[in-house]
A and B are shown apart, each in its own frame.
Chain A
């Protein structure tokens, strides 16, 4: 029975695609209008600073509702979801994430009108996070 508790060691591009579909409800995602700032080489995958900026006027009619960071190779593809209030003046957030291995990271912005924009970045990870090493 204990086998049931064992979780997959890492996500795959397929589970990333699945998570993307679940989050967007299958709506199209436009590449662009989002800047994802990550180190090209992360010496320590346990602490990777990430900044996401979205080109948005941040008006009541046109603003970013959610900024998500998704991972291709982490055990959990949806790393973090950040919800912005309607009067947040700047669509720019920063956090620190873990990266299990070298992979593509996606920043996904959900706009007020329900549309999605994204940016993708490849990060080279020297020391892996999440594992036992």
Chain B
């Protein structure tokens, strides 16, 4: 869990628009850099990010090496019901990073 940082309110009024910010700690090695003996450093990046709210997908991203180290996304949700907001990142080596935030509505 320490690899992920989620910023969003824990509570919201029905219909309220809330701001969600999600970050994962990741090296995002572009695959275009060379080490000090001139060898290409292999690409190692997060390729996908998915956010769901109460079981429905609300935001998804496909990343390239052009996204920064510690990829960050910010978007909005409409609070409609109490439920889990889940966050899932997958990198190009199959490693999965996950986080869950409970949103209480009402």
Contact = CB atoms under 8 A, between A and B. Distances in A.
A40 interface: no
Contacts of A69: 66
A42 to B, nearest CB: 12
A94 interface: yes
A113 to B, nearest CB: 20
A7 B32 contact: yes
Contacts, number: 104
A122 to B, nearest CB: 17
Interface stretch (B69-77, B85-93, B98-106): B69-77
Contacts of A92: 75-76
Contacts of B72: 94-96
A47 B68 contact: yes
Chain B residues touching A, range: 20 to 34
A23 B94 CA distance: 26
B64 A131 contact: no
B77 A88 contact: yes
Contacts of B68: 46-48, 96-98
Interface string A83-121: 111011110111111110000000000000000000000
Contacts of A80: 61-64, 66-67
Given A51-B74, A74-B66, A87-B78, 19 more contacts: A7-B32, A48-B68, A75-B66, A76-B64, A76-B65, A80-B63, A82-B73, A84-B58, A87-B56, A87-B58, A88-B75, A88-B77, A88-B78, A89-B76, A94-B73, A94-B74, A94-B75, A95-B72, A130-B33
16 contacts: A5-B40, A74-B66, A75-B65, A75-B66, A89-B78, A90-B75, A90-B76, A92-B76, A93-B73, A93-B75, A94-B72, A96-B67, A98-B30, A131-B32, A132-B33, A132-B34
Interface of B: 17, 30-34, 40, 56-69, 71-78, 80
